[in-house]
Amino acid sequence: MAKLTEIGWKEFEALPLEAKRPYLERPGGEGMPYHTLFAQQFDRPLLERLAALANRIRFISKSREGALFLKSFLPHKRAMLYFTQPSSRTFLSHLAACQILGLTTGSVRDTAISSEFKGESKEDSIRTFSSYFDMIIMRTPEKGLAEKMAWELSNSDRPVPILNAGSGKDQHPTQALLDIYTLLRSFETKGGLRNRTVTFCGDLLRGRTVRSLSYLLTNFENIRQMFVAPKELQVPEDVLAILREKNVSYDVSNDLREAVSTSDAVYMTRIQDEWDSAKGESAKIDTSRFKFGAEELALLKPDGIIMHPLPRRDEIATCCDHDPRAMYWRQMRNGMWIRSALIATTFGLENEILNCGY
Amino acid sequence: MAKLTEIGWKEFEALPLEAKRPYLERPGGEGMPYHTLFAQQFDRPLLERLAALANRIRFISKSREGALFLKSFLPHKRAMLYFTQPSSRTFLSHLAACQILGLTTGSVRDTAISSEFKGESKEDSIRTFSSYFDMIIMRTPEKGLAEKMAWELSNSDRPVPILNAGSGKDQHPTQALLDIYTLLRSFETKGGLRNRTVTFCGDLLRGRTVRSLSYLLTNFENIRQMFVAPKELQVPEDVLAILREKNVSYDVSNDLREAVSTSDAVYMTRIQDEWDSAKGESAKIDTSRFKFGAEELALLKPDGIIMHPLPRRDEIATCCDHDPRAMYWRQMRNGMWIRSALIATTFGLENEILNCGY
Amino acid sequence: MAKLTEIGWKEFEALPLEAKRPYLERPGGEGMPYHTLFAQQFDRPLLERLAALANRIRFISKSREGALFLKSFLPHKRAMLYFTQPSSRTFLSHLAACQILGLTTGSVRDTAISSEFKGESKEDSIRTFSSYFDMIIMRTPEKGLAEKMAWELSNSDRPVPILNAGSGKDQHPTQALLDIYTLLRSFETKGGLRNRTVTFCGDLLRGRTVRSLSYLLTNFENIRQMFVAPKELQVPEDVLAILREKNVSYDVSNDLREAVSTSDAVYMTRIQDEWDSAKGESAKIDTSRFKFGAEELALLKPDGIIMHPLPRRDEIATCCDHDPRAMYWRQMRNGMWIRSALIATTFGLENEILNCGY
């Protein structure tokens, strides 16, 4: 088995993502993740196993007894939530996921009140957290920091797992997991996640969500992908190159209504103007035709679904919120369940939960 | 029974407060509140029932076994504390109230680190919290937001209860509850909360506390109200109009010492200069005669009490702090007990706790 | 026994530190601390007893059953962490220490969101916390505030214990405890903490850590102290005066390498330029010869140790981090254990834990 203790940092960093995967697995864990850093760590069997575990946790938690049973799994463990990038949704979702399993938590949500103002390196800060906690859930603007810390900790006296809750522009693996879980659940009783058309709409250039989900969808059978965006914000060529390499059918367009009428899932996204330069280029782009409202809703198939990673601005009109096909609120709650499943897996509990009497 | 799912938002919003009450009750809860939004939801039987429950919780918690028994009620539930207005007292009091009943908690205390900077609406933010939590305790500067969210959530897939911990200038119902609870406790063995004179002093114009407490006191028999303030900060006419309508005796004055000598309870308040315009009008008002010190203490009846919602500045001299009639510290702790009682009630536990073996 | 209720504040404040100690003890606690304010409260028997308790807690927590057993001690208690000075390390370490014993916690980490902006005094704020919590762990920039609050609370209806987690430039007693605990552990199987040379290096003028540890080391037999620093940052004369008074051998130098080669422990510290005046005098001092790197490591005895209170900048090169003599990461984790031991002691649990079946 590949071990992070048997490879230098530079050598590990230089590996392609696929080759990194075995190094991040739980020892003896049959391919289950220990450190969760990339969407690319997850293949179809693993995604389906996590979805099954999330379903189980969701079901067990419905009763008081079940909820207390789940809380009895990890009350002896403590998780650190290190969020130096603004986020209440992702923070609270991970917090709730920890609480479901009984973990106690600590958090740093603002570097202004941390030791870093005294000149400490981020590496030292995170190693500090590993002294007091048994898992580190981190969200930072620095690309690659989660990966570096996974290597560092695995080579230290306290090899605690890292869960990447968003790092820079590149990765946000648990968002991709919850998106897949939502698709799996939505089509569970309708023939499954195969032979579908998934449309992405909005800012496809700068959203890491689209990039990861597009990749994970290639694990599933005959999923056609449509990319609908203003030309300045269209999906990057490297995403399409992967689809071609994997023989996945796709289309690029600027006509949302046409796409909606043939889609099983429409994945709307926000214009990510926080990545704009000072010139504010987003404001100059005409995005008016890339919003989902009453007219688009009327075009959607009866069992089609609308997704959004949230937060939204006006990409989806609030008049759609009460339609049963609006899946974005449930998608958000799914995030809590799939993160619970992932954390349970990190600590090697998946079989115990899947096979429990509940 | 009136249900929020059977009335539109505009129609509900337009109702008078008294008519809103039944919509906010716990289904099958015999008039007990589910959403807590206004002081006006509480009549005398309900106030006395909550006070009895708070007494019970306070008593049970004295022993280690009792404290653990209380914590066994809601460990399977999670509460969200959404505080976008500065407050440590109200925040910590609600936090402790949750912890007493075993609830785990999450919090957002600063909108600067939340998703709102990405342009999300407050409604979406709160709906997000409802995805991860089983109760939302909120304090915001926006008038009416708690009410709007109660309606929204009751009409969603996740109808979790809202507890209003202060909304704008208008309502702060749990403060009014703790004030009434403190009066009930203080006079419990001295003939009860009837035939009393309660004096309000300080900034009676802008404090929502005075407004709510004055209203709730009209539920009790023969409580005379005195309002002592500089004329620029005297109690608003609409508060007095309610007293006249309910045939409650009152007086308006600017002589604190005279009022103290005939009062059973003196409720001091802070000058709320955070509501000043940029001109800082408060600084121009002579408030020197509206402070409680050694001389006022000497005039107070032997079983009179001094109250204050805290924080204070110099309205009450610290030399009064160790006098047994200074009730403001106990008043603050009472807030924790009455909030525990309210949360227990929200989850339908009042009978179980009142009738338990302890 | 000396009691805080039997002495006025002014009189108590004026006592020398040694004379204050008995006032801070747990009633009936055989010299164990109730309020923890100064390093000077701890003599050798007490330090060794706390170290033994910390060892026990560390050992018990290794198993799941043990961890749950420890959590069963204080689940009925709530601790408040009041940190108005930036600190993630000390905050998280105390948080984890509370969680190990099952305490639930609340925190205020930023006075900007607290009531203080409304003009409340710090004394009132802390008294507020005492209404809702059973212990207050506080870190503030104000010298003497922890001491004042210990007196205030002991003279109130809610005499909850104060744990000083750092107050101004003067005291940080739990840092001194963890340093002593680290030294005791490091030499436990090598003849104990006696007949040793301990070298302090860096900013010895402004670090309260050095001051406290130097004092506590005088409790142990034949510990020679070396102070290595640029002359502008050398150890203050009053620290040396104490050593002379207690007949402790010491030396003052500016040659780190020579000191390292004869030391059993090298305690590196950061230049504390946050105490600089606006002129930034630290930047003008040549500190280049006061850093620990590969060459110093080569000079260190085989069973010597390197310590640092962290956070570090470049006082210790990261190339030393994986050397078994680098004790600073374990030192940090020791802080969690010794703080657990101290909190357990505050609540009178030391015998129960030391004598338990684990």
Indicate the number of domains in chain C. Answer: 2
Q: Are residues A192 and A327 in the same domain?
A: yes
Task: Identify the CATH number of the domain in which residue C201 sits.
Answer: 3.40.50.1370
Q: How confident is the model at residue C139 (pLDDT cuts 50, 70, 90)?
A: very high
In a domain, A296, yes or no: yes
**B292 beta partners:** B316
B64-71 and B44-60 helices cross at what angle (nearest 10)?
130
Do B18 and B52 have their domain in common? yes
- Residue A278: is its pLDDT beyond 60? yes
Kindly state whether residues B164 and B215 are assigned to the same domain.
no
Same domain? For A215 and A205 the reply is yes
In this structure, the answer to whether residues C106 and C12 fall within a common structural domain is yes
Residue of chain A nearest C69, judged by CA positions: A76
Q: Are residues A189 and A302 in the same domain?
A: yes
Q: Give the DSSP H or E segment for A347.
A: none
In a domain? residue C356: no
Q: What is the ipTM of this complex?
A: 0.93
Q: What SS3 state is found at A42?
A: coil
**pLDDT interval class at A86 (50, 70, 90):** confident
For every residue of chain B, which 3-state class applies, written as one string?
CCCHHHCCHHHHHHCCHHHHHHHHECCCCCCCECCECCHHHCCHHHHHHHHHHHHHHHHHCCCHHHHHHHHCCCCCCEEEEEECCCCCHHHHHHHHHHHHCCCEEEEECCHHHCHHHHCCCHHHHHHHHHHHCCEEEEEECCCCHHHHHHHHHHCCCCCCCEEEEEECCCECHHHHHHHHHHHHHHCCCCCCCCCEEEEEECCCCCCHHHHHHHHHHCCCCCEEEEEECCHHHCCCHHHHHHHHHCCCCEEEECCHHHHHHCCCEEEECCCCHHHCCCCCHHHHCCCCCCCECHHHHHHCCCCCEEECCCCCCCCECHHHCCCCCECHHHHHHHHHHHHHHHHHHHCCCHHHHHCCCC
Asked if the structure places residue C358 within a domain, the reply is no
By C-alpha distance, the chain C residue nearest A110 is C88
Q: Which residues of A touch C185 (CB under 8 A)?
A: none
Whether A228 and A313 share a structural domain: yes
**Chain C partners of A118 at a C-beta cutoff of 8 Å?**
270, 274, 311, 313
Mean pLDDT of C330-349: 98
The mean pLDDT value for B255-276 works out to 93
| pLDDT value, residue A273 | 84
CA quadruple B339, B88, A109, A330: dihedral sign: positive
At residue C217, the pLDDT reads 98
Would A88 be classed as within a structural domain?
Answer: yes
> In angstroms, what separates the C-alpha of B76 from chain A's closest C-alpha?
6
**pLDDT at position B358:** 82
Instruction: Indicate the range of B300-304, C48-52, C114-118, C152-156 predicted with least confidence.
Output: C114-118
Q: Is the pLDDT of residue C114 over 70?
A: no
* Nearest residue in chain C measured CA to CA from A123: C318
How far is B344 from chain A, CA to nearest CA, in Å? 16
Q: Subunits with at least 3 CB pairs below 8 A relative to chain C?
A: A, B
Question: Do B36 and B136 lie in a common domain?
Answer: yes
- Residues of chain B with pLDDT > 70: what percent? 97
Q: Would you give the DSSP letter of residue C86?
A: -
pLDDT at B115 over 70: no
- Give me the mean pLDDT over the B218-243 stretch: 97
- Cβ atoms within 10 Å, residue C10: 7
Q: Are residues C25 and C166 in the same domain?
A: yes
Average pLDDT estimate for B264-282: 87
Measured CA to CA, the distance from residue A200 to residue A260 in angstroms comes to: 10
Taking 70 as the threshold, does the pLDDT of residue C333 lie above it?
yes
Chain A touched by B127 (CB under 8 Å): yes
C-chain CB neighbours of B110 within 8 Å are 113
C33 bridge partner residues: C25
Give the C window 106-125 contacts with A, CB below 8 Å: 109-110
Min distance A66 CA to chain B CA atoms (Å)? 9
Catalytic residue among A21, A122, A172, A291: A172
pLDDT surpasses 70 at A264? yes
Mean pLDDT, range C31-52, rounded to an integer:
96
User: B119 — alpha (psi -120 to 50), left (phi > 0) or beta?
Assistant: left
Q: Is residue A261 part of a domain?
A: yes
Please determine, for residue B34, whether its predicted confidence score (pLDDT) is greater than 90. yes
Chain B residues within an 8 Å CB radius of C104: 99
Are residues C323 and C338 both part of a single domain? no
> Would you call C89 a catalytic residue per the annotation?
yes
Does residue A195 register a pLDDT over 70?
A: yes
In this predicted structure, the answer to whether residue A116 has a pLDDT above a threshold of 70 is no
Confidence of residue C111 (pLDDT cuts 50, 70, 90): low
Q: Which among C277, C333, C285 has a CA at the least distance from the CA of C310?
A: C333
pLDDT at B120: 85
Kindly state the average pLDDT of the residues A145-173. 92
User: Does the residue B353 lie in any domain?
Assistant: no
Residue B137's DSSP bridge partners are B81, B163
The helix or strand, by DSSP H or E, that contains position C157, with its residue range, turns out to be: none
Among chain C residues, the shortest Cα distance to A117 is held by C86
Longest dimension (CA), chain C: 59
Tens digits of residue pLDDT in B280-291: 888 889 999 999
Q: Is C320 within 8 Å of C297 (Cβ atoms)?
A: yes
What is the extent of the structural domain holding A13?
Answer: 4-171+334-354
Which residues in chain A have Cβ-Cβ distances shorter than 8 Å to C322?
A: 155
Is A172 catalytic? The answer is yes
Q: Residue B158 domain-assigned?
A: yes
Residue C278 is predicted with a pLDDT of 75
Largest Cα–Cα distance in chain A? 59
User: In angstroms, what separates the C-alpha of A249 from chain B's closest C-alpha?
Assistant: 33
Domain identity same for A50 and A136: yes
The pLDDT assigned to C275 comes to 77
pTM: 0.95
A99 contact C CB<8A: no
Overall average pLDDT of the A176-196 stretch? 97
Domain check: are B317 and B338 in the same one?
Answer: no
Residue B91 lies in a domain: yes
pLDDT tens digits along C305-315: 999 999 999 99
Instruction: Tell me the pLDDT of chain B averaged across its residues.
Output: 93
Give C191-227 pLDDT, tens digit per residue: 999 999 999 999 999 888 899 999 999 999 999 999 9
B 67-96 residues with CB < 8 A to A: 75-76, 78, 80
d(CA C105, CA C85): 18
Token pair, residue C248, equals 């402790």
